[in-house]
Amino acid sequence: MTDLVYVLNGPNLNLLGVREPDIYGHDTLDDIAGALEDRARELGLTIDMRQSNHEGHLVDWLHEAQAHDARAVLLNAAAFTHTSVAIHDAIKAIRTPVIEVHLSNPHTREAFRHVSFVGRAAKGSIAGFGALSYQLALEAAARF
């Protein structure tokens, strides 16, 4: 196992900071990445942070995380959380632990967000703490 942690982000997260800031906050994905890189260095970890609006990219990157013997994957699959059997199956297919991450708490939102295909396959989930959710997930990953 390496000290590499993949941080994968799904659709529309490239719009953080301007997209529904009352739900997702004012931090951009670059802001989150910068803070996460700083904390990763303190923990002796390296992060590889990526974002895509395409489901297949996330599946490919999950496979890549295992191929590179990553310590963990922090995955904010965004809307794919609630729809993607392909991402669920990719998580189940790899041995790399996956931590589900959400800025908001899906359980306090619309009913369709209460189902998580990612959560059913992930080692654990952290949600509802805004940008801090990523930091908390990284802390968990450091303990694997």
Q: Is 19 annotated as a binding residue?
A: no
Q: Is 38 annotated as a binding residue?
A: no
Residues 6+ apart with CB under 8 A from 119: 81, 100, 125
Q: Is 114 annotated as a binding residue?
A: no
Query: Could you give the dihedral angle defined by the CA atoms of residues 39, 42, 46 and 50, in that order, rounded to the nearest 10 degrees?
Result: 10
How many Cβ atoms from other residues are within 10 Å of residue 96's Cβ? 23
- Residue positions annotated with a catalytic role: 24, 102
CA distances from residue 141 to 6, 48, 99 in whole angstroms, order as listed: 10, 13, 8
Residues 6+ apart with CB under 8 A from 42: none
Q: Is 104 annotated as a binding residue?
A: yes
Element (H, E) at 125: strand 124-127
Q: Is 105 annotated as a binding residue?
A: no
Q: Is 13 annotated as a binding residue?
A: no
Which residues does the annotation place in the binding site for substrate? Answer: 76, 82, 89, 103-104, 113
